[in-house]
Amino acid sequence: MAIIVEERPKHEARLHARNAREAAWKRLERSRLPMSHPRAWRRSDVTAAIGHRRTQFAVGQGGFHVGELQPLGDDPSDWQCAMRANTNPAADFTYVYDCGSEPASLVRNSVRSFVRARAGKPIQMLFLSHLDRDHITGVPQLLDKRAGVAVDTIVLPYLDELDRIIAFSRSADTEGEASIERFHADMVLDPVATLNQFEPRQVILIPATDDEGLAGLLPTDPPFGRGDDFGWTTEALSGGGSPDVHSDAAGAIVLRRAEFALSLRGECHWRLRPYVRRAREEDRQAFMTATELLLGWPRGSFRDKTSSTEQRRVLVTRDCRSACKKDPLSGVIGV
């Protein structure tokens, strides 16, 4: 009896939510112009229509956003039916923007349902907006070689050691599962090597638009997306010329002042434009000063201390986390 009492409110809530969705869908159907209507679009100007469906999964603190694009014919019924589900495995192009939550358990069911709906079909692009833990905790599950999905291209910000340590410090006052802690620490130490374990075809790093610290990188060819009908190419933001493309020591592609042009059979129909905001230099300086005081380092020694991988590893251990918890400067550490 106790189980029935507990389950009944959940059942009623699910029923109410389903009825609300169906009512909203009927209202949308009544308000939508048929594709044959002259005011729906100027058909003489359209060679192909692209349906773009976005899903923001409810994961609490964090983010798990999926975008799906699919060519539409004269009859939109197939696409409308696909929109009723959580995901559309028939979509020709699928991208994911962030995949994580805090705690990590909140994103698991969403990732599981997404992977199940994909039925083994890979995703074309995974975007990671930043390296805070609540935005990446679901990545190992999403890209698991046995129970996840494959990914062609991973895109994330081009961050130096200081910015990655700052990202780690934002979660210094919380603790999660051991496997998630290890993954987060590995991403802070070497994000490209950590992501390459999932075997993407390419990893693309996006620096801030005014970042001039790329002089030591070698020029390389622009990245591109594979696809028989629906692929993407790299174009300069200005609409002409060549994008600024380099290769770093880890083999990742560093892409600046460029966007991704999604094309259907050679004709561009959609653009994804990455943007990275540069961190305020005064905040970076405050973080280094606070860390030196907290750990008893000489003033101005942060850069030298963190120039080695071994010392950076010390900064992401549980001992350093404990120090941040106990010291009143931990609030400054999380700028």
Query: Residues of the chain with pLDDT > 90: what percent?
Result: 27
Cα 120 from Cα 137, distance rounded (Å) = 21
Answer yes or no: is pLDDT of 62 > 90.
no
Largest CA distance in the chain: 72
* Cβ neighbours for 235, distance < 8 A, ≥ 6 positions apart: 243, 258, 259, 260, 261, 271
Check: CB of residue 276 under 8 Å from CB of residue 158. yes
If one counts every other C-beta atom within 10 angstroms of the C-beta of residue 18, the result is 10
Question: Six-digit token pair at 67?
Answer: 């975008």
Strands 123-127 and 151-157: parallel
Answer yes or no: is pLDDT of 201 > 90.
yes
What are the residue ranges of helices labelled H in 126-203?
A: 139-142, 161-169, 178-189, 191-196
The residues that bridge with 65 in the sheet, in sequence order, are 56, 97
What count of Cα atoms within 13 Å lies in the side-chain half-sphere of residue 231? 11
* CA 322 to chain centroid: 29
Q: Give the mean pLDDT of the chain.
A: 79
- Mean pLDDT value across residues 301-318: 80
User: What is the predicted pLDDT for the residue at 170?
Assistant: 79
Provide the strand spans (E) within 115-274: 123-127, 151-157, 202-206, 218-219, 230-236, 244-247, 253-256, 258-264, 267-272
Per-residue pLDDT band at 32 (split at 50, 70, 90)? low
DSSP 273: -
Answer yes or no: is pLDDT of 333 > 50.
no
* Cβ neighbours for 178, distance < 8 A, ≥ 6 positions apart: none
Residue 107 parent element (H or E): helix 105-118
Answer yes or no: is pLDDT of 136 > 90.
yes
User: What is the predicted pLDDT for the residue at 127?
Assistant: 97
Q: Which of 9, 94, 17 is nearest to 58 (CA)?
A: 17
